[in-house]
């Protein structure tokens, strides 16, 4: 038995049966990290001693018979480095925060600690989550475990690569415009973006506040459902978090019947630019679901073509506002002051605060962050606000209405996750617009705030490569109806024996 290749359910059963301990499970994951991470580069910070201490505490609780129904107790995970962890380095993969030690935990970290998580470390991402490839990290590029010459997707590339390579059993990342779903598809794992507000955003380093969602990556659908139940819920520290009822998703998945459920297939998502292998794989998956009793209905989401331009007006606008707080003086890293972020900055007598601010931002932000600050500031500036930002918000309302209208007819919507499989590192370096278009099937659901999940549904050989790469299928649901998209995903996974499809093949 290779412990680090287990699912959460399998590992939890083994821990309670005393087949192995959490310390042994954690050491297996740490061993895999040491063996593979010099090539994959998932982790920015590895918290080995902290993880082993958490594992020892979990073993003691299991020995005492405590928390028998807590299936996350003693399970090793990774955390995206835009989520605050008290007294543990949190960088957002940016030079301006490269020495930042948060004084408090994000709400979701507090919830996981209560469940007895074992945190192996903080994983890489595009700096401040700006990107779709993890090439925009200020530190290093993460590699796809399937083909090290290819990207793992982004911005949660470190989360995807750490799960796909069995360095951990699950990972918590964020999805703003596809940042969980696209890397999940590229790396062949399950990635769930819940409804906006379903999981508290308190303790996230904000990118686009109106679409940021703490999200989940795991090896199968059942593990994803288990994690969601523990993280969902109202939080007094986050006014945007919802008090909507949290379902027992794992219990709901026990009912295998999907007969009568209506699946919408939008024609706008099956465009001529879509890779033919991906198109065939998703259409075959839809046919399998139809054989299981689901009703397939062709629908239209007419404003889909405006989703990417709308997203890339709203996002830079919110980014420019959110990044204004990083001045290298109150917190963060200042190349001028040369001090650690959690100490009080003492400004050179020769330099003014304005000079410190400008030099810190010039040296601390990467090119993508600067690009988004400039675009966003322009879109919000006097004379352009009505023409760009306000217009984009109006189109966003129309995109949301498309989904509302569609969900009057269907229970879920199925699309490809991405138009292509993982591309080669450096392929889009000279054309940022090409990279933005990787979100073509993802950003609409984010703008509408609806839940969506990506699950593996096959493999395709890239035109420029010999290694078959994973394909993802996206299932989109109604607001706060995560249970139905999980049910459809589980039905597909179960009936094609797709549990750990990509992990097993690898």
Domains plus CATH for the chain?
3-258+478-505 (3.90.1300.10), 329-358 (no CATH)
| Tens of pLDDT, residue by residue, the chain (506 residues) | 899 999 999 999 999 999 999 999 999 999 999 999 999 999 999 999 999 999 999 999 999 987 778 999 999 999 999 999 999 999 999 999 999 999 999 999 999 999 999 999 999 999 999 999 999 999 999 999 999 999 999 999 999 999 999 999 999 999 999 999 999 999 999 999 999 999 999 999 999 999 999 999 999 999 999 999 999 999 999 999 999 999 999 999 999 899 999 999 999 999 988 999 999 999 999 999 999 999 999 999 999 999 999 999 999 999 999 999 887 776 655 443 443 333 333 434 456 666 766 777 888 899 999 999 999 999 999 889 999 999 999 999 999 999 999 999 999 999 999 999 999 999 998 888 788 888 899 999 999 999 999 999 999 989 888 899 999 999 999 999 999 999 999 999 998 754 444 544 55
Question: What are the φ/ψ torsions at residue 335 (nearest 5 degrees)?
Answer: -65, -20
Distance CA 178, CA 439 (A): 6
Residue 179 is a catalytic residue: yes
CA angle 464, 470, 476 (to 5 degrees): 125
Q: Among 8, 113, 17, 119, which residue's Cα sits nearest to residue 68? A: 17
Distance CA 251, CA 302 (A): 36
Residue 80 is a catalytic residue: yes
Distance CA 70, CA 94 (A): 35
Torsional sign, CA 91, 167, 151, 274: negative
Q: Among 450, 432, 469, 416, which residue's Cα sits nearest to residue 186? A: 469
Torsional sign, CA 127, 129, 132, 133: positive
Query: What angle in degrees, to the nearest 10, is found between the helix axes of 391-406 and 307-322?
Result: 130
CA angle 322, 324, 325 (to 5 degrees): 85
Distance CA 333, CA 391 (A): 36
The residue from 22, 27, 42, 80 that is catalytic is: 80
- How many helices and strands in the chain, by DSSP H and E? 17, 11
Q: Please indicate, yes or no, whether the overall pTM of this predicted structure exceeds 0.75.
A: yes
Per-residue pLDDT, 30: 98
The residue from 22, 155, 202, 241 that is catalytic is: 155
Q: Among 319, 276, 314, 266, which residue's Cα sits nearest to residue 441? A: 266
Contact 206, 174 (CB under 8 A): no
Residue 86 is a catalytic residue: no
Contact 459, 468 (CB under 8 A): yes
3-state class (DSSP) for residue 427: coil
The residue from 12, 22, 156, 179 that is catalytic is: 179
Percent of the chain that is helix, strand, coil (3-state, to 5): 40, 15, 45
Buried b / exposed e over 130-165, threshold 16 CB at 10 Å, is: bbbbbbbbbbebbbbbbbebbbbbbbbbbbbbbbbb
């Amino acid at each position: 038995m290779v412990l680090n290749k287990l699912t959460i359910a399998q590992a939890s059963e083994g821990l309670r049966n005393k087949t192995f301990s959490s310390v042994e499970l954690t050491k297996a994951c740490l061993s895999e990290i040491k063996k593979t991470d010099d090539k994959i580069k998932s982790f920015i910070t590895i918290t080995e001693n902290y993880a082993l201490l958490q594992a020892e505490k979990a073993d003691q609780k299991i020995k005492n018979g405590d928390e028998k129904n807590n299936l996350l107790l003693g399970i090793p995970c990774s955390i995206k480095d835009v989520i605050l962890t008290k007294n543990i380095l949190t960088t957002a993969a940016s030079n301006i925060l490269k020495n930042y030690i948060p004084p408090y935990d994000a709400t979701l970290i507090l919830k996981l600690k209560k469940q007895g998580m074992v945190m192996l470390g903080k994983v890489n991402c595009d700096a401040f989550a700006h990107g779709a490839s993890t090439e925009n990290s200020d530190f290093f590029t993460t590699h796809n475990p399937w083909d090290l010459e290819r990207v793992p997707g982004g911005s949660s590339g470190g989360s995807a690569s750490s799960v796909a390579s069995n360095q951990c059993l699950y990972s918590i990342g964020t999805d703003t415009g596809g940042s969980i779903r696209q890397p999940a598809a590229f790396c062949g794992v399950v990635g769930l973006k819940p409804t906006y507000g379903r999981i508290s955003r308190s303790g996230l380093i904000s990118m686009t506040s109106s679409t940021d969602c703490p999200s989940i990556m795991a090896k199968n659908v059942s593990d994803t459902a288990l994690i969601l139940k523990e993280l969902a819920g109202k939080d007094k520290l986050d006014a945007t978090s919802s008090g909507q009822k949290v379902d027992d998703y794992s219990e709901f998945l026990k009912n295998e019947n999907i007969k009568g459920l209506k699946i919408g297939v939008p024609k706008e998502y099956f465009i001529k630019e879509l890779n033919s292998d991906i198109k065939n794989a998703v259409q075959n998956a839809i046919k399998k679901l139809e054989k299981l009793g689901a009703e397939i209905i062709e629908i239209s989401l007419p404003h889909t073509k405006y989703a990417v331009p709308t997203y890339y007006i709203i996002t830079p606008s919110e980014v420019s506002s959110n990044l204004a707080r990083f001045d290298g003086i109150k917190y963060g890293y200042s190349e001028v002051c040369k001090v650690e972020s959690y100490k009080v900055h003492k400004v050179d007598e020769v330099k003014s605060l304005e000079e410190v601010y400008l030099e810190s931002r010039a040296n601390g932000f990467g090119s993508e962050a600067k690009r988004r600050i400039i675009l966003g500031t322009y879109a919000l500036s006097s004379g352009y606000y009505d023409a760009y930002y306000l217009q984009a918000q109006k189109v966003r309302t129309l995109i949301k209405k498309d989904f509302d209208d569609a969900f009057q007819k269907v229970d879920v919507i199925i699309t490809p996750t991405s138009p292509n499989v993982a591309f080669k590192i450096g392929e889009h370096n000279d054309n940022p617009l090409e990279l933005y278009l990787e979100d073509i099937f993802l950003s609409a659901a984010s703008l509408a705030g609806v839940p969506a999940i990506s699950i593996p549904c096959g493999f395709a050989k890239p035109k420029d490569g010999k290694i078959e790469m994973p394909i993802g299928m996206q299932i989109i649901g109604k607001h706060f109806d995560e249970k139905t998209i999980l049910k459809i995903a589980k039905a597909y996974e179960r009936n094609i024996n797709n549990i750990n499809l990509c992990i097993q093949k690898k």
